[in-house]
Amino acid sequence: MEKRKKQRLEDAGWRVGSTADFLGLSDEEAALVEVKLGLANAVRKHRSRRGMTQAQLGRLLGSSQSRVAKMEAADPSVSIDLMVRSLLRMGASRKDVAAFIATPISRRAA
């Protein structure tokens, strides 16, 4: 958040913090959320770069379009294992997957 915006909010009486603070997440829980969001974003980007629809990716994975949509939304019902397998199936390398996991959300390109 921009410093000016943060200062305006605090001056107006708002408390500014992170999502982890708001939800009361431990450092480990916050890290797990970041990993899952990074993988979800990577699935969406890889699929788009390959020019695939969600339905096409679902067929490639032996799954459904709705399951792919849930992966891309980081739905709690989707395992990290499924996201990693999906990326590998689309041609991502293990090094790519490691980079998706390691890059903090604040440094990822939108």
Q: Where are the domains of the chain?
A: 26-107
What are the tens digits of pLDDT across the range 8-26? 888 898 888 777 787 888 9
Q: What CATH number labels 26-107?
A: 1.10.260.40
What are the tens digits of pLDDT across the range 27-64? 888 888 889 999 999 999 999 999 999 999 999 999 99
How much is the pTM?
0.76
DSSP string, 29-93: HHHHHHHHHHHHHHHHHHHHHTT--HHHHHHHHTS-HHHHHHHHTT-TTS-HHHHHHHHHHTT--
Confidence of residue 108 (pLDDT cuts 50, 70, 90): very low
